[in-house]
Amino acid sequence: MNQKEVVCRQKLMTTRDTMDVIQGKWRIPIIIALTFGDKRFGEIQRDIVDISPKMLSQELKALEMNKIISRTLYDSMPVTVEYSLTPLGLSMKPLVDEILNWGIRFRKETVRK
């Protein structure tokens, strides 16, 4: 196994780590919603119009477990819960920006049917 192959396989492993975190239909949308500020369950649901409460709840838990977001319970008198990006979550900004950038480029190249 030569040098190139070693580098190639390391890259493959590293990208798999990232992809495991952002994989799926809802994780990136949730992260983006939270870049606009801390939000409550219902607010995120209103931003991501087609997500069901089940999926939102499930994906919020997964992101919390990966330390991307944090959950804060406020004992106010209708009890509210706020979700916010952790430092690790905030560190995804360049990645999310690139996903966005490339999406714009892709759309440009694809509009000529």
Partner DNA sequence: GTAAGTACTTACCTACAGGTAAGTTAACTT
Partner DNA sequence: AAGTTAACTTACCTGTAGGTAAGTACTTAC
Binding site for DNA (CB under 7 A): 24-26, 40-43, 50-55, 57, 60-61, 71, 77-81
Query: 29 or 96: whose CB is closer to DNA?
Result: 29
> Can you tell me whether residue 109 is helix, strand or coil?
helix
Query: 70 or 75: whose CB is closer to a second copy?
Result: 70
Query: 24 or 95: whose CB is closer to DNA?
Result: 24
* Subset of 52-111 contacting a second copy (CB under 8 A): 67, 88, 91-92, 94-96, 98-107, 109-110
Q: Out of 14, 52, 58, 80, which residue is the one contacting a second copy (CB under 8 A)?
A: 14
Chain centroid to Cα 98, Å, comes to 13
H or E, element range at 39: strand 39-40
Q: Which stretch binds a second copy (CB under 8 A): 11-19, 53-61, 74-82?
A: 11-19
Provide DSSP, 53-99.
HHHHHHHHHHHHHTTSEEEEEE-SSS-EEEEEE-HHHHTTHHHHHHH
In angstroms, the CA 28 to CA 68 distance is: 11
